[in-house]
Amino acid sequence: MSIDRRAFKEVGKEAGKEPGGKLADARPRSKASELAALLEAHRGEKHAIVMQDYPDPDALSSAWAHKMIASRYAIDCDIVYEGRISHQENLALVQLTDIELVRYSDSEELKRYQGTVFVDNQGTTAALTDRFDAAGVKPLVIVDHHERQDRIAAEFTDIRKIGATATIYTEYIREGLLELNKSDVQHVRLATALMHGLRSETNGLVRARAEEFDAATFLTRFTDHSLLEDILSVKRSKQVMDVIRQALENREIRESYSISGVGYLRMEDRDSIPQAADFLLTEENVHTVIVYGIIIKSDREMVVGSMRTNKVTLNPDEFLKEALGATEAGRYYGGGRRGAGGFEIPIGFLAAIKDDELIRMKWQLYDELIKKKLFAKIGVQPPVMRKEANRGEGARGEAGSLRAEEN
């Protein structure tokens, strides 16, 4: 494509002007030029690129793209997250492309950053949001493709109803914020990561829009297709297969909705929940799947769930917000985008119970309550509570084996 490759700081300064310095009436500044102007204004600073607690390929690749773009303005960026990367493809992406990440620990000094950049999230799925707020570090940038959450405000915001955040960053690159070079190994790896982010968010481009196809066409010139094949060829672990089996056994199907609770899981196995949801969505006559479980992280516990749908008239963001509600502070437990969503519900003082019988009862309580809320949203009667010997013993077995591993 034809593009002026002059330094983008000049584009940022001159955007919105005609030759001779007069203001142009009809041409609004592009998002790329707005971002360039902001980065120029913060030249030489140190920023934290904040990903969701459990980042996916779209977040990882987009954060990396932002870091490379920011480096052109002498801005030093760390890509930070607090949770864990456990999905096999995500681990392969990080290891095979050598993306540098910082996993937050209590020893990290957050005040050393002059600003934060939220990529592929709006602060609702990152525990670091509150930590940076407490440290007095202000949000500078939000770039995301999920429904607007209004959790934080930033100097620059680019939130679009589009297939992937990687699509937005590819657009920034195409408009001159970064000039990719086939002979630069890092550029080739970045293009490969962005291509993976595009395909993962759009179900292998099945749900892609015109923007994603345009982005993929551009990226394919720089993508290492052998590297991409290596990332995609990673096998499912035994733990993931066990969770998929549990989801199949426990699913309740009503009105083409498949809902399944999988019991207690280690934090390391959290990413098995969305994989189980993806698998259940392949069942005949099912258009929407919700899979959830209780994730244990030390003495903290939370109900974590994933939603997948191929029903075009169903908005996962609205569905989960209306079904599960919000905290007293007004923060919704769930949210999403086209085709997918997720939720987290803290368990609070009921966490860290050691008694096996109480553990079993706790799972049964949350399982029934969540199903009741979800079926009420669908508009059908919830299923009759199962006998303890059926679901209860299964949940107790999961918890018992987990506690043995932790001890």
Question: DSSP letters along 47-80, please?
Answer: EEEEPPSS--HHHHHHHHHHHHHHHTTT-EEEEE
Q: Would you place residue 194 in the very low, low, confident or very high pLDDT band (cuts 50, 70, 90)?
A: very high
Q: Would you place residue 389 in the very low, low, confident or very high pLDDT band (cuts 50, 70, 90)?
A: very low
Q: What angle do CA 118, 10, 214 make, to 5 degrees?
A: 55
Q: What is the pLDDT of residue 384?
A: 63
The Cα 374–Cα 322 span in angstroms is 9
Mean pLDDT of the chain, nearest integer = 87
Three-state SS annotation for 112-173: HCCEEEEECCCCCCCCHHHHHHHCCCCEEEEEECCCCCCCCCCCEEEECCCCCHHHHHHHHH
Q: What mean pLDDT is predicted for residues 206-219?
A: 93
Q: Higher-confidence residue: 391 or 146?
A: 146
Structure tokens at 158: 């680019």
The Cα 34–Cα 32 span in angstroms is 5
Q: Higher-confidence residue: 392 or 212?
A: 212
Whether the CB-CB separation of 202 and 164 falls below 8 Å is answered with yes
- Res. 15: pLDDT tops 70: no
List Cα–Cα distances, 360 to 5, 245, 292, 321, in angstroms.
62, 19, 16, 27
339: region left, alpha or beta (phi > 0 left; psi from -120 to 50 alpha): left
CATH number of 8-232: 3.90.1640.10
Q: Would you place residue 27 in the very low, low, confident or very high pLDDT band (cuts 50, 70, 90)?
A: low
- What does the pLDDT look like over 78-116, one tens digit per residue? 999 998 898 888 899 999 999 999 999 887 899 999 999
- Span(s) in the chain for CATH 3.90.1640.10: 8-232
Q: Find the Cα–Cα–Cα–Cα dihedral 48, 129, 303, 281, rounded to 10°.
A: -60
Q: What is the pLDDT of residue 140?
A: 98
Task: Determine which of 125-134, 212-221, 350-359, 387-396 has the lowest per-residue pLDDT on average.
Answer: 387-396
Q: What is the pLDDT of residue 388?
A: 45
- Res. 7: pLDDT tops 70: no
Beta partners for residue 41, in sequence order: none
The residue type found at 133 is D
Q: What is the pLDDT of residue 87?
A: 86
The Cα 339–Cα 204 span in angstroms is 13
- Res. 392: pLDDT tops 50: no
Instruction: Using alpha carbons, select from 372, 398, 116, 135 the residue that is nearest to residue 249.
Output: 398
The Cα 266–Cα 271 span in angstroms is 10
How much of the chain exceeds pLDDT 90, in percent?
69
DSSP one-letter code for 326: B
Q: What is the pLDDT of residue 279?
A: 94
Beta partners for residue 352, in sequence order: none
Q: Would you place residue 328 in the very low, low, confident or very high pLDDT band (cuts 50, 70, 90)?
A: confident
- Res. 21: pLDDT tops 70: no
Q: What mean pLDDT is predicted for residues 322-341?
A: 89
Contacts of 146 (CB under 8 A, 6+ apart): 120, 121, 122, 159, 317, 335, 336, 337
Q: What is the pLDDT of residue 291?
A: 98
The Cα 60–Cα 89 span in angstroms is 12
Structure tokens at 23: 């203001």
Other C-beta atoms closer than 10 Å to the C-beta of 344 total 17
Domain 238-406: top CATH class: alpha beta
Q: Would you place residue 299 in the very low, low, confident or very high pLDDT band (cuts 50, 70, 90)?
A: confident
- Please name the helix (run of DSSP H) or strand (run of DSSP E) that holds residue 288, with its range, or none: strand 288-297
Q: Would you place residue 212 in the very low, low, confident or very high pLDDT band (cuts 50, 70, 90)?
A: very high
Instruction: Using alpha carbons, select from 61, 10, 11, 39 the residue that is nearest to residue 140.
Output: 39
List Cα–Cα distances, 337 to 58, 121, 173, 196, in angstroms.
13, 11, 24, 18
- What does the pLDDT look like over 61-76, one tens digit per residue? 999 999 999 999 999 9
DSSP code per residue over 215-282? HHHHHTTT--HHHHHHHHTPPPPHHHHHHHHHHHHH-EEETTEEEEEEEEEEGGGTTHHHHHHHHHTT
Calculate helix-pair angle for 316-324, 356-378, nearest 10 degrees.
120
- What does the pLDDT look like over 339-386, one tens digit per residue? 899 999 999 877 777 788 988 999 999 999 999 999 999 998 876 655
Whether the CB-CB separation of 84 and 52 falls below 8 Å is answered with no
- Span(s) in the chain for CATH 3.10.310.30: 238-406
Query: Measured in Å, how far apart are the chain's first and last C-alpha atoms?
Result: 59
